[in-house]
Amino acid sequence: SETGCLSIVVLGASGDLAKKKTFPALFNLYRQGFLQSNEVHIFGYARTKISDDDLRNRIRSFWCVFLVACCSIMLMTEWFYQIKYVSGSYDTEGGFRMLDKEISLHEEFRNSTEGSSRRLFYLALPPSVYPVVCRMIKLCCMNKSHLGGWTRIVVEKPFGKDLDSAEKLSNQIGELFEEPQLYRIDHYLGKELVQNLLVLRFANRFFLPLWNRDNIDNVQIVFREDFGTEGRGGYFDEYGIIRDIIQNHLLQVLCLVAMEKPVSLKPEHIRDEKVKVLQSVMPIKDEEVVLGQYNGYRDDPTVPDHSNTPTFATVVLRIHNERWEGVPFILKAGKALNSRKAEIRIQFKDVPGDIFRCKNQGRNEFVIRLQPSEAMYMKLTVKQPGLEMSTVQSELDLSYGQRYQQVTIPEAYERLILDTIRGDQQHFVRRDELRAAWEIFTPLLHRIDDGEFKPLPYQPGSRGPAEADELLERAGYVQTHGYIWIPPTL
Ligand code: BG6
C-alpha cells in the first residue's frame, strides 16, 4: 500500500551525512507537505548513547543559520517532535529488536483501524557495515506483513573499491534483499539538469538528428571544485577522484547523454539503455588519461606522506556503437581547482564548406551547466550587430534563475528520498549498471593503486596539470578564444 504509516529510519543518525544531507532533506520534504505528520515517523539509530532531545539538538545546531531564517519555529518544533532516537550496535540483534519495537508501536498507534507498514531504512553508514546491518534489518525489522506495505533499503556510495569488492558487496546484500527493495543513491541523478537530460534529448526535434557522430565532435563532462579534501583526507585518500566522482557521478551523466531512446519511461527501460552504453565503452588507453595531485594534498595529517592518490583526472572514454564511434567522451574531475562547477559541453563539428572563414571564431557548442546557476546555452555564430558584415560568437541562453524566478530548485537528496518512498527506481543505480561501471575503471584503478600510474603535481587554484589541456586538444576539443559566457544577473 502506498498510504498509511511510514517509518523512515536513518541509520548512522549521529554522523555527518545524516546531519548534512539526510535530515535536512527530510525536513524540507516535510515543510513542503510531502511527509504528513499523521503518517510519518522518523527514527534515528546509531551507537552513541544519547537521548531523543540530544539528537534533535545536534541536528538543530547544524541548521539554525539557514533554517531559522526561512521557516517558522513552530514547524520545526513540530517536525523535531516526530524524531525518535534508538541507540544500539550495528552487529547485534538487541538494538534492532528495540528499533523494531519502537517502529511497531508507532504503527499500531497509527493503524488502530487499518493501515500499512512501510519501512524505509536509510544507511548513512560506511559500506563496511552494510552487509551486517542489512542482515539485522532482515532478521529483526521487516515490515509487518499482515499490515502490508514494504521494506526498502537506501545505500550510498562507495559501493566497493573495484569490480571484485563491489560484486562481493552486491552479493552479500543481494542474498538478503531483492533488487526492487534496494535503492543505490547517486545524488547526481537527483540534480535538476541531470533529470532534464531525458526530456531534452527525446522531446525536442532540434536535437534528434544532430545527436550523433556525424555532427558532434566531442563531449566533455566536467566537475571542478575550488577546495581541496580538507577534513576528509583520510576517506579520500583510500578512494581518489576516479572512485569519488568519475566512476559514479560523471559516468551516470555520460549514460544519459549517450544512451538510445528507451522503450518507455519505465525505470527498467531507462536503466536497460544505460547499461548498454556502459557495456559499449572500450578499454581505457593510458595515453588518454592524465592524473594530477595538488601540491599540499599530502600536508593533511590524515594523508600518507607518499600518497599516490589522484585528486584530479581527465579520462577519455570511447563508446563503440553506431551512434558514437570516433567521438571522445572526456570526463574530467578535480579538487582544489580555480573554480567550482559541473557541466556537460557538447562540441559540434566545423561547418563544411564555410563561406565566412570563421573557423577561428569557434564551433557550435551546447552547454548544460548543472551547477552552480543551472543553465543551458548554445554557443552560435551570428552577424556582428552593426553596419559591418562580420561574424561573432554569441549564445541562446536558458538560465534557470532568470527564466524560473518563482521556482526553488529542490536539493538532489529531497527528490531521491521522495522517489524511494514512491517506489520509483528510475534515478537509482541498478546492480548490473554498477557492475558495468566498475568494469570500465577497475584495470586503471589497480594500476594507480599499485603505483604504476603516477599523478602529476599541480598548483591549487589552477586549471590542473597542463597535460590535461593537451590531452583535451589531442582528443579534438577546440577552445574558443576570446568568448566567455557570462551568466545573466537578475
Ligand atoms: C560527493 C563526493 O559524492 O560529491 C564529494 O564524495 C564531492 O567529494 C560531492 O564534493 C560533490 O557534490 P555536489 O552535489 O556538491 O556537486
Distance CA 195, CA 185 (A): 14
Return the residue whose CA atom lies nearest to atom 13 of ligand 1. 188
User: Does any ligand 1 atom lie closer than 6 A to the CB of residue 411?
Assistant: no
pLDDT at res. 331: 98
Q: For residue 131, name the pLDDT band (cuts at 50, 70, 90).
A: very high
Mean pLDDT, rounded, for 359-379? 91
Q: What is the mean pLDDT of residues 310-330?
A: 98
41 is catalytic: no
**pLDDT tens for residues 321-342?**
999 999 999 999 999 999 999 9
Q: SS3 helix, strand, coil % of the chain, rounded to 5?
A: 40, 20, 35
Q: Is residue 201 exposed (0-12), middle (13-18) or buried (19+ Cβ within 10 Å)?
A: middle
Query: Strand (E) positions, 323-440?
Result: 328-334, 341-348, 365-371, 375-383, 391-399
Lowest mean pLDDT among 61-70, 100-109, 126-135, 349-358: 61-70
Mutate to test the pocket of ligand 1, among 232, 235, 245 (most ligand atoms within 8 A of CB): 245
Q: Among the atoms of ligand 1, which is closest to the Cα of residue 249?
A: 3
66 pLDDT more than 70: no
Alpha helices in 357-477 (DSSP H): 400-403, 412-422, 431-449, 466-474
Distances (CA, A) of 399 to 240, 371, 382, 465: 33, 11, 20, 31
Model confidence at 34: pLDDT above 80: yes
* Res 64 pLDDT > 70: no
Percent of the chain with pLDDT over 90: 77
Q: What percent of the chain has pLDDT over 70?
A: 96
Answer yes or no: is the C-beta of 107 below 6 A from any ligand 1 atom. no
pLDDT per position as a tens digit, 412-467: 999 999 999 999 999 999 999 999 999 999 999 999 999 999 999 999 999 999 99
Q: What are the residue ranges of helices labelled H in 285-425? A: 400-403, 412-422
Does any ligand 1 atom lie closer than 6 A to the CB of residue 244? yes
Measured from the CA of 236, which atom of ligand 1 is nearest?
A: 8
Mean of pLDDT values over 307-316: 98
Q: Is 189 left (phi over 0), alpha (psi -120 to 50) or beta?
A: alpha
Whether residue 238 has pLDDT greater than 60: yes
Kindly state the average pLDDT of the residues 241-267: 98
Q: 334 Cβ partners below 8 Å, 6+ apart?
A: 223, 224, 225, 241, 292, 311, 312, 313, 464
Q: What is the rounded average pLDDT of the residues 218-241?
A: 94
Q: What is the DSSP letter of 309?
A: -
Q: What pLDDT is recorded for position 311?
A: 98
Q: Which residue in the list 249, 269, 306, 446 is annotated as catalytic?
A: 249
pLDDT at 68: 53
Residue 108, pLDDT score: 81
Is the pLDDT reported for residue 2 higher than 80?
A: no
Q: Is the pLDDT of residue 389 over 70?
A: yes
Given a contact cutoff of 8 angstroms between Cβ atoms, the answer to whether 314 and 301 are in contact is no
Tell me what ipTM this predicted complex has. Answer: 0.96
Mean pLDDT, the chain, as a whole number?
92
State the pLDDT at residue 360: 65
Residue to mutate (ligand 1; options 237, 249, 253, 416; most atoms within 8 A of CB): 249
Whether the CB of 343 sits within 6 Å of ligand 1: no
- Residue 184 β-bridge partners: 155
